[in-house]
Amino acid sequence: MNAKNALNEGLKLLKDPASKTESLAWIKELRAPFFTAVLIPVFLGTTMAWFSFGVFDATYFILSLIGVVCVNAGTNLANDYFDYKSGCDEANPDFSSPFSGGSGLLPKGVLNPRKVYIAALISFVFAILIGVFLALTRGWAIVLLGLIGVSSGYFYTTQLAPRGIGELVVGLNCGPLAVIGSYYVQTQTIALEPIVASIPIGILILAVLWINEIPDYYADSKAGKMTLVTRIGKKKAVDVYGVLMILTYAVILMAVVFSVMPRLTLLSFLTFPLAMKAVYVARGNYE
């Protein structure tokens, strides 16, 4: 098939309603709109490297972005697959949000579970290949960070979440690991500033996952998926959510007080009323 014929075939596929439907299904399955949760930490780590050392390598920056997206995509796909296999999806048919109850595509038969699992493996393989390249060119610390990210992503649903540590691992991966890793890729060093700056991001991402596990409480309990939320109950989970939100701003304040972060960082407190409103809404609607 020549290039012109291949192009025509590709255009036909794009115009095919079934093809469009499947493409949209995969976007939903990947939770693509929420990749920003892992992209922002990479931007932060790279920006801090530039401010600290005046260094910026576009190639390493792009590879860092692709790498964290691959890990996140693999985690989302694997989570959906293993939730489906464990019976969590059948126990929670409402699928109330993209974070809560999975995508809902596997129990509905929209996507083939085996294809989803293979896609998860492919995503992790791409992440590993990028990690190996960065380790060879920038330093072997990337190996440790990458291993933690990939292994925890794959085993999140089957090993970590049932033991009540899944939420903490997600906060670690999407906060400190992403910020420190992207900083290290640019500078080949690890410093206190990016470590401290990564903590509020990690806590916020943990808080987002935490509050969205509350609608899954009964489904997770029925399937034996003993997350921290499942272990402590809905009411206490909402209390913990409030603590997480306050802790985020407390870390920022202490970082400024001890001159680890610049005073301009205090501008983040402009969002504090919104955070408290989120806690208030959660307290009134957790049932």
Residue 178 inside a domain? The answer is yes
Residue 25 tokens, joined: 């299904």
pLDDT of residue 89: 60
Contacts of 68 by beta carbon, 8 Å cutoff, 6+ apart: 38, 39, 41, 42, 149, 178, 181, 182
> Please, what is the angle between helix 141-154 and helix 58-86, to 10°?
20
Closest CA to 31 of 72, 87, 67: 72
Residue 280 tokens, joined: 């208030």
> Domain range for residue 127?
33-285
pLDDT of residue 11: 47
Q: Are 65 and 59 in contact (CB under 8 A)?
A: no
How many CB atoms are located within 10 Å of the residue 110 CB?
A: 16
Residue 9 inside a domain? The answer is no
**How distant is the alpha carbon of residue 155 from its chain centre?**
14
Residue 127 tokens, joined: 């992440």
DSSP 8-class letter at 238:
H
Residue 256 tokens, joined: 């400024």
Residue 278 inside a domain? The answer is yes
Residue 48 inside a domain? The answer is yes
- Residues of the chain falling short of pLDDT 50: 10-11, 13-14
Residue 266 tokens, joined: 């205090």
Q: What pLDDT, in 10s, does the model give residues 140-184? A: 999 999 999 999 999 988 888 888 888 899 899 989 999 999 999
Residue 169 inside a domain? The answer is yes
Residue 2 inside a domain? The answer is no
**How distant is the alpha carbon of residue 139 from its chain centre?**
24
Closest CA to 67 of 182, 169, 204, 190: 182
Quick one: 265 exposed, middle or buried, by C-beta within 10 A (0-12, 13-18, 19+)? Answer: middle
Residue 176 inside a domain? The answer is yes
Quick one: 117 exposed, middle or buried, by C-beta within 10 A (0-12, 13-18, 19+)? Answer: middle
pLDDT of residue 14: 44
- Give, in order, the Cα–Cα distances in Å from 178 to each of 40, 174, 189, 201: 9, 6, 14, 10
What total of structural domains would you count in the chain? 1
Residue 24 inside a domain? The answer is no
Residue 62 tokens, joined: 């792009």
pLDDT of residue 53: 93
